[in-house]
Amino acid sequence: MCGIIGCTGRAEDTLDVLLSGLEGLEYRGYDSAGVALANGSLEICKRQGELDRLQQAVGNSLRGPVGIGHTRWSTHGPPTDANAHPHTDCTGNVAVVHNGIIENYDELKAELHARGHEFESDTDTEVVPHLIEAALAEGASFEAAFREAVSRLEGSYALAAVTADTEAILATRHDSPLVLGVGDDAAYLASDVPAFLEYTDRVVYLEDDDFARLESGAWTVTDADGQLLDKSVSRVEWDAEETAKSGYDHYMLKEIHEQPRALRKCLRGRVDELTGSIQVDSLEGLSPSSVQFVACGTSYHAALYGAQTLRDAGIPAQAFLASEYATAPAPVGDDALVVGVTQSGETADTLSALREAQRRGVETLAMTNVVGSTATRECDRTLLIRAGPEIGVAATKTFSSQVVACNLLAATIADRGDSREIVEALRDLPGQVQELLDASRAESVAKRFVDSEGYFFIGRGHHHPVALEGALKMKEITYKHAEGFPAGELKHGPLALVTDQTPVFAVVTGDGEEATKTVGNVKEVEARDAPVVAVTDGASDASRYAEAVLEIPETHPQVAPVLANVQLQLVAYHVANELGRSIDKPRNLAKSVTVE
């Protein structure tokens, strides 16, 4: 949650860099935003609301060679101008931006208040500039004061601080991401790479308890004891165009349409069509006796799919909500593998679950989208999904790529007899997604049912996670009530909620036993006058009982969920668009959840 940007060495256009960086970080929070520039004094502007309010307020009035900025997702205190970052000390000489939660801020605030410090916000962050102020008053240098303040903190944090009379940014992290950008004559700091990608693709990933100093385009990183660290500079493969809307009305729609390319990238170099085999270098030699997936939100639905796929292949597998696993881990046997599914590689609950697994000596695998993320650095192995940057808060292309990555994992560690059929289906998948995108009737279905009281989604087997994901997308961006269920469970209680104002989206593919039973559940819904939307390949007679049909191409039953999910993504998008919702930035949500 929250986004941090910092810049040194840009002279007259520091403000432009900060505002541009905040635009690239809005998916991390958009309750309020602010900037602070240092130029012999501190110039600060911050506003409640989305970034355009800050842009209007600040104009071109702030100048300085050093600056920091912040976009907020509220944890302590409501979205107000006073609670927006940056926060300052009593003198107005120190400004700080923060991502995370300072758990002992009440204690620190009481101590500082007793020493005469005055506070203006409800936030936990505000204690930090006052701690720095207190150390400066005792004669400490800016860097020593910053380190002293950080040593007092408990919890998670990414911090950046500036003072009026020092042309430098000081920063550190603990359980919250922070990355440096290395330019020819400038240095950058951000919560995520897209914030400065238009200026440089050279990055340095900070580890927990690293301290960074940026000044006049130069940078150094030291450890908690002040010892200089030799940090490697990496190049990011993403380009700035990938983080632009490219003519689409919303990032979400762009990212839905990017799925064919994302899937091709996920499969490239890993699938051998001639031999019908799959080989992933990072998984070489992996042969677990059982697998546990840990994940949150959309990634949890991909984990449910992955667990089902592994069980079908004869590997004992379960999926757990990471927030539950971290506090009550499930028993694991010898040679087990714990897989953390996380788009950003920074999801706090998932990282906690992976660390718990490591404490028990279990091998860990990060299934993620971000090279150099905390999950990739801490886990024993990494399986990159290669979806490219995803800016819209509601995950779309990353879910599809996670599902495909689960197939790569299953094919690598399990001995299946139908590997050639799966390889062929994966080969055809990007083209089939494109075919679906070109012909989908999702917009007309959305317009037909936009005024419904609620929405239900049902599916069996591999389609159960798709039903859950379809409901989540609808909830996230339309603010309408939506629920997903295993198809057979609808009659065990939820059927009481079904009316002629609650369309039921039924995912039915193939003509086997699962399809037959799901069609039976569709009949139960239809008998109660609820409209049915069949998401189907036409192999069953589900469409006979449906008021609307969303067609998908025929494919291997293990791959069909990706196609069905794309149709449901489009339905949610078009319902939200008809309702005029803030699709890319839905209320109360942020893209990367870095607090527990």
> In this predicted model, what pLDDT tens digit does every residue of 560-582 receive, in sequence order?
999 999 999 999 999 999 999 99
Which residues, 6 or more positions from 16, have their beta carbon under 8 angstroms from its beta carbon? Answer: none
pTM: 0.78
Domain 440-596 has what CATH class?
A: alpha beta
Q: What does the domain layout of the chain look like in residue ranges?
A: 3-242, 245-436, 440-596
- Residue 29, pLDDT > 80, answer no
> Is residue 12's pLDDT more than 80?
no
Of 13, 66, 94, nearest in space to 214 by CA: 66
Q: Sorting pLDDT into bands at 50, 70 and 90, what band is 297?
A: very high
- Select the CATH number that applies to the domain covering 3-242 from these four: 3.60.20.10, 3.30.720.110, 3.40.50.2300, 3.40.50.300: 3.60.20.10
3-state secondary structure at position 348: helix
3-state secondary structure of 566: helix
**pLDDT tens-place string over residues 124-156:** 999 999 999 999 999 999 999 999 999 999 988
Fold agreement between 245-436 and 440-596: yes
Q: What is the pLDDT of residues 343-361, one digit of tens each?
A: 999 888 999 999 999 999 9
pLDDT tens-place string over residues 476-505: 999 999 999 999 888 888 888 889 999 999
Q: Per-residue confidence at 276, pLDDT binned at 50, 70, 90?
A: confident
86: preceding bond cis by omega (within 30 degrees): yes
In CATH terms, the fold of domain 245-436 is: Rossmann fold (3.40.50)
Residue 594: per-residue pLDDT:
54
**Which residue in 387, 381, 390, 388 sits closest to 402, CA to CA?**
387
Q: Residue 349 has what pLDDT? A: 93
Half-sphere exposure of 584 (CA within 13 A, CB side): 23
User: How far is the CA of 68 from the CAs of 45, 128, 455, in angstroms?
Assistant: 11, 15, 43
In this prediction, residues 156-167 reach a mean pLDDT of: 93
pLDDT band, residue 334 (cuts 50/70/90): confident
For 328, which DSSP code? S
The pLDDT confidence band at residue 240, using thresholds 50, 70 and 90, is low
Least confident among 36-40, 59-63, 226-230: 59-63
Chain centroid offset of residue 501 CA:
33
CA separation for the pair 266, 252 (Å, rounded): 19
Sheet holding 66-72, edge to edge: 42-48, 32-38, 66-72, 3-8, 187-190, 179-182, 202-205, 234-235
The angle at the Cα of 21, spanning 62 to 577, to the nearest 5 degrees, equals 115
The residue-averaged pLDDT of 434-440 equals 95
Q: Which residue has the tokens 């270098």?
A: 281
Q: Which residues are catalytic?
A: 2, 591
Ramachandran angles phi, psi of 159, nearest 5°: -130, 145
**pLDDT, average across residues 371-392:** 92
Residue 119: predicted pLDDT:
93
Structure tokens at 415: 């001995």
H/E element, 550 = strand 548-551
| Contact in structure between 337 and 438 (CB atoms under 8 Å) | no
Identify the residue with better confidence: 140 or 78. Answer: 140
* Angle between helix 463-478 and helix 560-579 axes, rounded to 10 deg: 20
Q: Quote the pLDDT of residue 408.
A: 96
